[in-house]
């Protein structure tokens, strides 16, 4: 865990169906490579023993999820706890790119605190990669942006409303526009008026110079799927920290 690339290596180790299958197998029982090869064949995976060791077991060993004794492979306590954590997240492998620098995971964690503008994301990651990473997350169904009309907000002007006459519905629309502004869709929901009619009354109010429209910056937020995955990554980070603290206490206890 002292490796500065540990988190990245761990995430990449988990983004592989075969490794996850092996990890789930060795959680239950200790297995030699020959037995793992048999179990993989039953599941439809055909690999040589060398490939199983080099491509699938070695990455698990490197990040402390598995261990080996007398040619028998088994899951560590860390590996067992991680398997329990993974039970609620079957889409991890499909949702994130393998062999990556894990910018996607980093951005998911950043967006947990709330939607961010593109400028926020550029400053957090890098202008060179921000668009690419956002597109990957959107394609995977992990992030979303509001529709065009949802980030056009309507505000009251400084014009004295007492200088104008209102119909009853116009007044209802006007009175439900908060100081911080509101989208037409949200306003329609608040007033109980259809969206089409809400736009009609907003045009009338704009004509009376009582309301004006302003584009708010487009923001990127997590979908429900994205929130679930970001939550998992956060729990995984907590598990890593707990494991790190436990291992330090054991080492310090041995020294004393």
| Strand partners for 156 | 211
Residues 213 and 227 in one domain: no
Residues 229 and 110 in one domain: yes
Rounded Cα distance between 5 and 9, Å, is 6
Given 87, 105, 124, the domain boundary residue is 87
Look at residue 240 and tell me if it is in a domain.
no
Look at residue 246 and tell me if it is in a domain.
no
Task: Indicate if the alpha-carbon torsion angle 201, 206, 210, 215 is positive or negative.
Answer: positive
Q: Average pLDDT in the 10-29 region?
A: 92
Mean pLDDT lowest among 101-105, 113-117, 234-238: 234-238
Where is 174: in which H helix or E strand?
helix 168-175
Residues 141 and 98 in one domain: yes
Residues 122 and 230 in one domain: yes
- pLDDT above 50 (res 248): no
Which residues span the domain enclosing 162?
Answer: 148-217
Query: What's the mean pLDDT when you consider all of the chain?
Result: 88
What does the chain come to in residues? 256
pLDDT value at residue 247: 54
Hey, is 74 helix, strand or coil? strand
Residues 135 and 228 in one domain: yes
DSSP secondary structure, 49-73, as one string: HHHIIIIIIHHHHHTTSEEEETTEE
Look at residue 242 and tell me if it is in a domain.
no
For a pLDDT cut of 70, what percent of the chain falls above it?
89
Grade residue 2 by pLDDT with cuts at 50, 70 and 90: low
Q: Find the angle CA(250)-CA(251)-CA(256) to the nearest 5 degrees.
A: 95
How many domains are contained in the chain?
Answer: 3
Residues 166 and 206 in one domain: yes
Residues 228 and 129 in one domain: yes
DSSP state of 31: B
Residues 83 and 93 in one domain: no
Given 45, 60, 87, the domain boundary residue is 87
Residues 186 and 212 in one domain: yes
Look at residue 67 and tell me if it is in a domain.
yes
For a pLDDT cut of 90, what percent of the chain falls above it?
64
Residues 31 and 63 in one domain: yes
pLDDT value at residue 100: 87
Residues 47 and 82 in one domain: yes
pLDDT value at residue 119: 93
pLDDT tens-digit series, residues 199-245: 999 999 999 999 999 988 888 999 999 998 999 888 888 888 887 66
Residues 74 and 96 in one domain: no
Grade residue 151 by pLDDT with cuts at 50, 70 and 90: confident
| Strand partners for 152 | 215
> Please, which contacts does 57-61 make with residues 24 or more away whose CB atoms are closer than 8 Å?
57/22, 57/33, 59/9, 59/12, 59/13, 59/16, 59/19, 60/13, 60/19, 60/22, 60/23
Residue 73 φ/ψ, nearest 5 degrees: -105, 140
pLDDT tens-digit series, residues 35-90: 999 999 999 999 999 999 999 999 999 999 999 999 999 999 999 999 988 886 65
**43 class by beta-carbon count within 10 Å (0-12 exposed, 13-18 middle, 19+ buried):** exposed
- pLDDT above 60 (res 124): yes
Look at residue 65 and tell me if it is in a domain.
yes
Residue 217 φ/ψ, nearest 5 degrees: -60, 140
Rounded Cα distance between 40 and 44, Å, is 6
CATH number for 74: 1.10.10.10
Grade residue 92 by pLDDT with cuts at 50, 70 and 90: low
What does the H/E/C string look like for 112-170? CCCCEEHHHHHHHCCCCCHHHHHHHHHHCCCEECCCHHHHEEEEECCCCHHHCCCCHHH
pLDDT tens-digit series, residues 128-149: 999 999 999 999 999 998 775 5
């Amino acid at each position: 865990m002292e490796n500065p690339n540990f988190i990245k290596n761990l995430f990449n180790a988990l983004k592989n169906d075969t490794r996850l299958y092996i990890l789930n197998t060795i959680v239950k029982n200790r297995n030699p490579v020959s037995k793992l090869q048999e179990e993989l064949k039953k599941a439809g995976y055909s690999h040589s023993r060398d490939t199983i060791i080099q491509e699938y077991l070695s990455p698990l060993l490197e990040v402390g999820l598995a261990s080996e004794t007398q040619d028998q492979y088994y899951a560590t306590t860390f590996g067992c706890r991680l398997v329990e954590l993974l039970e609620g997240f079957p889409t991890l492998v499909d949702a994130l790119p393998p062999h990556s620098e894990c910018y996607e995971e980093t951005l998911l964690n950043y967006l947990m605190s709330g939607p961010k503008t593109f400028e926020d994301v550029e400053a957090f990651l890098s202008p060179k990669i921000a668009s690419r990473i956002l597109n990957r997350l959107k394609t995977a169904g992990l992030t979303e942006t509001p529709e065009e009309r949802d980030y056009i907000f309507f505000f009251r002007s400084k014009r004295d409303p007492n200088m104008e006459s209102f119909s009853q519905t116009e007044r209802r629309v006007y009175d439900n526009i908060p100081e911080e502004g509101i989208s037409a869709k949200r306003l329609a929901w608040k007033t109980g008026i259809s969206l089409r009619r809400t736009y009609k009354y907003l045009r009338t109010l704009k004509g009376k110079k009582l309301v004006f429209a302003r584009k708010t910056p487009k923001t990127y937020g997590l979908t429900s799927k994205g929130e679930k995955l970001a939550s998992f990554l956060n729990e995984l980070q907590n598990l890593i920290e707990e494991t790190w603290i436990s291992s330090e206490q054991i080492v310090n206890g041995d020294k004393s």
